[in-house]
Structure 1
Amino acid sequence: MLSRLAWLALEVKYLDRARSFYEETLELSPIADRDAELVFGAGETDLVLRRPTDVPRGGLHTHYAFSIPGAEYDEWWDRLEDQGYELEEAQFGPARSLYLYDPDGNCVELGQQDVAGPGIDGIFEVVLEVEDLDRSEAFYAALGFETVDAGDDRTRVRMNGPMALELWEPHLGIADARGGVHVDLGFETSEPTAALEAVSDDVSQVDRVDDEQVVVRDPDGHVLTFRI
């Protein structure tokens, strides 16, 4: 139903400080610069950095993951460590991921993926904080996400769709990461109204409906846009 993650929006306090981290440290290229918003290209997904001047706000303390080519991992580790970042590492099968924090407290993961690069080439995971795991899992399943893993203590589930979606009840994960609150996600789909119909009984709010775009709030207030 949902074919691609079009954007992930994060809330930042100071755009200049955030720009320095994402442009200079992570080597992303800005593609739009507006008064209260800065947009970077990350492969096929836009990373939007947004000051809290209006709604929808971007996500707070959001854990998410960038894709990097596997062969670049050691180079990224050495360069970030040399810049003084405190890094953590996790192994997922044959793939490694490193973790660091941006200036606004978002936990940024750089993980080995099958991407061309060079450098960051996509967002492959986003973590949302939810109040009721069963409710949120059912909500996203209706949008076509499929559960592939669940934590032993049933505080998290991992679902596959246009990207990996992790739903966490409040807790600390790897590198003390937290799921994001009021995260703004944009998805491409051939039928925005069909996506709305799939979850219409469970959204907390509908903000916009037209032929090309639908904007809703999920049960925990995360903003979801379905667009052609």
Structure 2
Amino acid sequence: MLSSLRWLALEVKYLDPAGEFYERHLDLPLAEQREAELVFDAGGTDLVLRRPSGVPRGGLHVHYAFATPPDRYDDWWERLSRRFDLTEHRFGSARSLYFYDLEGNCVEIGQRGEGDRDIAGIFEVVLEVEDLDRAEAFYTTLGLDVTNRGAERRRVRLTTGAFDLELWEPHLGLADARGGVHADVGIEAEDPTAAAERVGGQACDVEPLAEGVRVRDPDGHYVTLVP
């Protein structure tokens, strides 16, 4: 069984301006500074900014979504619209705004979540894949469930119940977003070894770690399963 998203890593050229962007515009607290990495606390999910100094690399042009309690959304719109050219879309009664960071990642803030924090986690990550059917088979075998598919675009949305993963064949989505390439995510798993074994025949690589198992999917994305 899979559950929450533990981290999302993004690749950046320069740590200082990238880190300042997330501290200044999104008030994310710096949780840890490592060699070639900054780790921010995004409402219980780690947002990792990583220089391209090793493998796995962080993701490039990733579209991902922060959750904010519904009553905080208008405050975010007022604040960010002073600096960014925002795009907004509605999903039923919920609204989401979109803008771009310094590295070309499409950042979404959506009305989802609860609690006292203005950013209440990351609830969606979008990955670009070459073959949608192959990618869907990999992630459903891993333990995610399909919730919907695109009618006009080649995409599929899956969930663990705690966060959503969208798989896109190459195209421009809402706000001209693109799915990320060579992304690095960490997902909590009840039994990391068993989950990794299920996809062993589909994965490019499976690597046991001191804590958990790192799996490389058929499109080169890294998924680390952690207890």
TM-score bin (small chain): over 0.9
Q: Kindly indicate whether residue 19 of structure 2 is the aligned counterpart of residue 23 of structure 1.
A: no
Paired positions, count: 226
Q: How far apart, CA to CA, are the structure 2 residues paired with 1:117 and 1:53? A: 36
Q: How far apart, CA to CA, are the structure 1 residues paired with 2:112 and 2:102? A: 25
Q: How far apart, CA to CA, are the structure 2 residues paired with 1:103 and 1:117? A: 28
Tell me which residue corresponds to 1:164.
164
208-217 vs 125-134, greater mean Cα deviation: 208-217
- In the TM superposition, 1:70-149 aligns within 5 A as 70-82=70-82, 84-149=83-148
Tell me the secondary structure at the aligned position of residue 110 of structure 2: strand
Instruction: Label 1:114 to 1:35 Cα distance change in 2 as closer, same or farther (>3 A).
Output: closer
Task: Indicate if the aligned counterparts of 1:147 and 1:157 stay in contact, CA closer than 8 A.
Answer: yes
Tell me which residue corresponds to 2:48.
48
Instruction: Label 1:227 to 1:118 Cα distance change in 2 as closer, same or farther (>3 A).
Output: closer
Q: How far apart, CA to CA, are the structure 1 residues paired with 2:63 and 2:209? A: 31
Task: Indicate if the aligned counterparts of 1:5 and 1:45 stay in contact, CA closer than 8 A.
Answer: yes
Tell me which residue corresponds to 1:2.
2
Cα deviation 1:128-164 (Å, max 9, x = unaligned) = 0000001111111112211111111351011111311
Equivalent position amino acid for 1:95 in 2: A
Tell me which residue corresponds to 1:183.
183
Q: How far apart, CA to CA, are the structure 1 residues paired with 2:141 and 2:210? A: 21
Cα deviation 1:47-100 (Å, max 9, x = unaligned) = 000000111100000000000011111111111111x20100000011000000
Cα deviation 1:171-200 (Å, max 9, x = unaligned) = 000110000000001111121110111101
Equivalent position amino acid for 2:84 in 1: Y
Task: Indicate if the aligned counterparts of 2:3 and 2:187 stay in contact, CA closer than 8 A.
Answer: yes
Tell me the secondary structure at the aligned position of residue 3 of structure 1: strand
154-163 vs 4-13, greater mean Cα deviation: 154-163
CA RMSD of the aligned region, Å?
1.2
Task: Indicate if the aligned counterparts of 1:68 and 1:117 stay in contact, CA closer than 8 A.
Answer: no
Identity of aligned residues (%): 60
Instruction: Label 1:209 to 1:55 Cα distance change in 2 as closer, same or farther (>3 A).
Output: same
Tell me which residue corresponds to 2:200.
200
TM-score computed with the length of structure 1 as normaliser: 0.96
TM-score computed with the length of structure 2 as normaliser: 0.96
Q: How far apart, CA to CA, are the structure 1 residues paired with 2:195 and 2:3? A: 11
Runs of 4 or more consecutive aligned structure 1 residues displaced over 6 Å after TM superposition: none
160-169 vs 112-121, greater mean Cα deviation: 112-121
